[in-house]
Amino acid sequence: MQKPNKRLENQTCIVTGSSSGIGKAVAKAMGSEGANIVVNYHSSKEKAEEVADWIEKNSSCGNALVIKCDVSKEDDVKNMFNKTIDYFGTVDVCVANAGMQIDHPLHEMPLDAWQKVIDVNLTGQFLCAKEAIIEFLKRGMRKDVSKSLGKIIHMSSVHEEIPWAGHANYAASKGALLMLMESICQEYAPHKVRCNSLAPGAIKTDINKEVWSSEKELEKLLKLIPYKRMGVPDDIGSVASWLASDESEYINGTTIFVDGGMTCYPGFATNG
């Protein structure tokens, strides 16, 4: 992890789905920048508590609060924001990270598998962004902590751009996030809200364990990454912290791909 430099001191960040994987790395990285962190989980309370403990014990971090919430349920999301505001006073950064994959060939995809992925990956991000904006507008500027009214970071994927056979529900949810993010920017940038997406490539987490735990599959995957290594969650954590900080103040309505070049279609290097 990069050496922290307190770029988020006195700010409060909600990171959804931060009990593991990319969300956990983002929570730790933002915590290390001095932020208070809401560690949100859906089912792994113990893992969320471990992340919160790490933040609480690390002297460069702010404080941590663990909140259970299913981001696809409006009442849960409202409750998470209310608890956060009661405890920390406000919300400055919302990282809408929680996401899932339920993979099927399209002609075999049960409606349930389609709906669940859209509910969590897309509707969940809408609900979180909405509550964040409500709080930003109500609270007004905090000029002592940030030049922006508030920051929203959507966790997208290279699959907002790269089609993905066998994963149409996931790719559709990420493609839609692009328009959600850009529309939010267009609507709320005049209020000094910043809304951007991060689009990770193949980051080594549980979501793609099946691929990286098989040597043969990993070799195939590496052919898709010009930089020739899988990403690690900290690759996303460090960019997310910077994107939430004033160092990136003029970035708004953009997707930043953090993918080792995956979106440069390496298959075309010797073909086409």
Q: By the criterion CB under 6 A, which residues form the site for ligand BGC?
A: 101, 157-159, 201-202, 207-208
| Residue 64 vs 199, nearer CB to ligand BGC | 199
What's the min distance (Å) between Cβ of 82 and ligand BGC? 30
Q: CA–CA separation, 120 vs 98, rounded Å?
A: 7
Q: Please tell me which residue in 41, 170, 188, 227 is annotated as part of the active site.
A: 170
Q: CA–CA separation, 108 vs 101, rounded Å?
A: 15
Q: Where are the beta strands (DSSP E) in 104-214?
A: 150-155, 193-200
| Residue 187 vs 210, nearer CB to ligand BGC | 210
Whether 250 is catalytic is: no
Supply φ then ψ for residue 2, to 5 degrees.
-60, 155
What's the min distance (Å) between Cβ of 51 and ligand BGC? 20
Beta-strand relationship, 93-96 and 12-15? parallel
What is the chain's alpha carbon radius of gyration, rounded to the nearest angstrom? 18
What's the min distance (Å) between Cβ of 201 and ligand BGC? 5
Q: Nearest residue to ligand BGC, using CB?
A: 157
**Start-end of H helices in 146-204:** 168-188
What's the min distance (Å) between Cβ of 93 and ligand BGC? 22
Residue appearing with tokens 């529309």: 183
| Residue 4 vs 200, nearer CB to ligand BGC | 200
Buried b vs exposed e over 131-151: b needs ≥16 C-beta within 10 Å? bbbebbeeeeebeebbebbbb
| Residue 132 vs 262, nearer CB to ligand BGC | 262
Give the residue numbers annotated as catalytic, written as ranges: 170
